[in-house]
Chain A
Amino acid sequence: MTTARDPTIPPPRRLKPWNAVERGLAKVGISGRMLVLAAPVLWLLVFFLIPLAVVFGISLSTKQFGRPPYSPLLTTEEGTVQLTLHLNNYIRLFTDNLYIAAYLSSIRIAFISTVITLFVGYPMAYAIARAPDRWRNILLMLVILPFFTSFLLRVYALTGFMRGNGVINQFLGLFGLEPLVMMQTDFAVYVGIVYTYLPFMILPLYTTLVKLDVSLFEASADLGARPLRTFLSVTLPLSLPGIIAGSMLVFIPAIGEYVIPSLLGGPETLMIGRVLWDEFFTAANWPRAAAVAVAMLLAVVIPIMLLQRAQSAVVER
């Protein structure tokens, strides 16, 4: 073994180009941090935050013919800038029964579907969390797999399943039963939402359930609680963050759902996402569509806040 390098010779110093660049930028007041932040911040400002502001702005405009098909908010008349705001879109939202009905029915459909998804998803998540280790990953993969196949195609698959001469009714026919009318009903919409959003419910539930220490159940049983009691007083409260996170992950997108009601629902299945779509594409009333979007945003703000709190709780455990 040789001894340490002669300490009287100073260590070799090479000017590294990266250092020079960094120092140069620092002189202008730009740190490495700012460089990292700049791109995502700018992008999200331009393509996320400003668009929401634009929606709000245009919701205060009114439809007119031309390009673009809405009246400008700012006009210059004889050298002065004039700001014209229209509230008529919002007034219509509150007075026209169509909008109120669509709004309420969206919330109702999203709520009912979320509850059903919870009841279907909870046992599945629990079963996966309690499954033997080598099964767990395979089952989890089976839950995630549909998520990676096309959403649209899965909804389409359901239509083949539920239509008048679809798989279910053919199956019922084998037993001499009457065919059921499922397509173009609210029931089909519930099934569609449960079917497509089930993975969103299962994953956060699984994450909280799998972290629960088995000794908790053993302790509960040891103290004399029967399985159902243990479930109600230990498992359920401890998995609450997962329940909230999963429910919000289903509820929020379900509120704004367009594809499912338009493929599975009937003409009377009113949902706010569908109303917005029709307002924009069929009626070409951009300002009113924007007002509907603002109203929809209000419906999801509270669930989003709930979700964020629940998510941080899920992560912390």
Chain B
Amino acid sequence: MKKSQQLAVDTRPWRDTANNKPFVRIKNVTKKFGDVLAVHDVSLDIYRSELFCLLGGSGSGKSTLLRMLAGFEQPTSGTIEIDGQDMTEVPPYNRPVNMMFQSYALFPHMSVEQNIAYGLKRDNLGKGEISDRVAELLSLVKLQDYGRRKPHQLSGGQRQRVALARALAKRPKLLLLDEPLGALDKKLREETQFELVKIQESLGVTFIVVTHDQEEAMTLATRIGVMNLGEIAMVGEPTDIYEFPNSRFVAGFIGSANMVEGKVTEDEPGHVRIRSSELGCDIYVGHGVDCAPEQILWWAIRPEKMVLSREKPLTPHDANVTSGIVEEIAYLGDISLYQVALESGKRLRVSQTNSVRGNPDAITWDEKVYITWSDSSGSVLTV
């Protein structure tokens, strides 16, 4: 690979699966601890130089999946391939994979340099080579002057960088990061996020990051795999996950969403009409949906995709407009979040940008308001 490296973030190889070979192939992997199903039949392809985020709550199986990639756990069934080689049976110390631990797991009895050099020594590299490499890594994480310190003499952020340097030292094909920013405070976390992406892009190493923080996943990832109850709920680019959730779980898990139940009344190739008694109106969806007439399904819409008004706006198709009373207003600075109670008792959350400073004419408590949305703003969900 002499030519400058093409990064997955630019080429998006997952959009053309026919011509791109995945770098990590997880095939039908299941992991049971006793009777507990931690990971259930997960199949996942990850491409070279991707920064892939596994996102899920606690107990979703994301960490177990990561530990199986590292080799600390053996899958109960299924296989894991890395760069075309079956790694399922290979012990952790023989895998071309390194891991950055959530607790950092820095060896307390070794200095920063010794920590970073540890993996290189296991490869029986020469002394000179090791010290060159250690110096290189220390400068990469901007800790040149800290090589002789012990881990307990470092701040949390510095320890995080040592852990990263140690994991990168062996030039792994694949770097696994378990909640890499979890132990940092909010401000440091935001700075470090960009730092991490920069390092990943400059090295071109494939990263798999486990996180429970969706904002972090959105910022870092080329693609996100949302996990729930040991299964992959959805895989996609951050925008796909947010704008086109494939299930009620994903729509509810990522960001906030209003969700209503409805019944299909018109099912045409070009549009679908859904009657929702909760909403008190029809929903007109401007594209075809894989469903049947009379089918009960769900429709989800983000608070910022709806518009509030005092006067009843004109809407085509006699749909996509409902009304209610403003119950609560949360002023968040850039936006205000309105909670509107509909006639059915259902409450919708609508956000409005505060584009006028100190607007005296803003919609206020107990007003009757109309809520509208366009025919492509919501997602129709069948599961």
Direct contact of A and B (CB under 8 A): yes
Q: Would you call A4 and B205 a contact (CB within 8 A)?
A: yes
Q: Would you call A4 and B136 a contact (CB within 8 A)?
A: no
Give Cα A279–Cα B140 distance, bound, in whole angstroms.
Answer: 77
For the complex, is B202 an interface residue (Cβ under 8 Å from A)? yes
For the complex, is B376 an interface residue (Cβ under 8 Å from A)? no
A–B Cβ pairs within 8 angstroms, 28 of them: A1-B136, A1-B140, A1-B202, A1-B203, A2-B171, A3-B1, A3-B5, A3-B203, A3-B204, A4-B171, A4-B173, A4-B203, A4-B204, A4-B205, A5-B171, A5-B173, A6-B1, A7-B1, A7-B48, A7-B83, A7-B173, A8-B1, A10-B85, A11-B96, A11-B173, A12-B123, A13-B94, A19-B91
**How many residues of A are counted as interface, with CB atoms below 8 angstroms from the partner's CB atoms?**
13
Give Cα A12–Cα B94 distance, bound, in whole angstroms.
Answer: 9
B 124-171 contacts with A by CB, 8 A: 136, 140, 171
A 1-56 contacts with B by CB, 8 A: 1-8, 10-13, 19
Q: How far is the CB of A11 from chain B (nearest CB, A)?
A: 5
Give Cα A13–Cα B83 distance, bound, in whole angstroms.
Answer: 15
Give Cα A101–Cα B256 distance, bound, in whole angstroms.
Answer: 78
Q: Report the 5 A-B pairs with minimum CB-CB distance, sorted nearest first.
A: A11-B96, A5-B171, A4-B205, A4-B171, A4-B204
Chain A residues within an 8 Å CB radius of B1: 3, 6-8
Q: How far is the CB of A243 from chain B (nearest CB, A)?
A: 36
Interface of B is mostly: loop
Q: How far is the CB of A197 from chain B (nearest CB, A)?
A: 37
Chain B residues within an 8 Å CB radius of A2: 171
Give Cα A273–Cα B91 distance, bound, in whole angstroms.
Answer: 55
Q: Binary interface profile of B, 196-229, with partner A (CB < 8 Å = 1, else 0)? A: 0000001111000000000000000000000000
Give Cα A107–Cα B173 distance, bound, in whole angstroms.
Answer: 69
Q: How far is the CB of B90 from chain A (nearest CB, A)?
A: 10
Chain B residues within an 8 Å CB radius of A4: 171, 173, 203-205
Chain A residues within an 8 Å CB radius of B91: 19
Chain A residues within an 8 Å CB radius of B171: 2, 4-5
Q: How far is the CB of B169 from chain A (nearest CB, A)?
A: 12
Give Cα A2–Cα B2 distance, bound, in whole angstroms.
Answer: 12
Known: A1-B202, A19-B91. 15 other contacts (CB 8 A): A1-B203, A2-B171, A3-B5, A3-B204, A4-B171, A4-B173, A4-B203, A4-B204, A5-B173, A6-B1, A7-B48, A10-B85, A11-B96, A12-B123, A13-B94
Closest chain A residue to B173, Cβ basis? A7
Q: Binary interface profile of B, 1-30, with partner A (CB < 8 Å = 1, else 0)? A: 100010000000000000000000000000
Chain A residues within an 8 Å CB radius of B123: 12
Chain A residues within an 8 Å CB radius of B94: 13
Q: A2, A4, A10 — which one has the most chain B CB atoms within 10 A of its CB?
A: A4
Give Cα A11–Cα B205 distance, bound, in whole angstroms.
Answer: 15
Chain B residues within an 8 Å CB radius of A5: 171, 173
Give Cα A221–Cα B5 distance, bound, in whole angstroms.
Answer: 68
Closest chain A residue to B91, Cβ basis? A19
Q: How far is the CB of B304 from chain A (nearest CB, A)?
A: 40
Chain B residues within an 8 Å CB radius of A12: 123
Chain B residues within an 8 Å CB radius of A3: 1, 5, 203-204
Chain B residues within an 8 Å CB radius of A19: 91
Chain B residues within an 8 Å CB radius of A13: 94
Chain A residues within an 8 Å CB radius of B136: 1
Give Cα A8–Cα B171 distance, bound, in whole angstroms.
Answer: 14
Give Cα A58–Cα B82 distance, bound, in whole angstroms.
Answer: 65
Q: How far is the CB of A267 from chain B (nearest CB, A)?
A: 58
Give Cα A13–Cα B202 distance, bound, in whole angstroms.
Answer: 27
Q: How far is the CB of A182 from chain B (nearest CB, A)?
A: 53
Closest chain B residue to A22, Cβ basis? B91
Give Cα A6–Cα B270 distance, bound, in whole angstroms.
Answer: 50
Give Cα A10–Cα B91 distance, bound, in whole angstroms.
Answer: 16
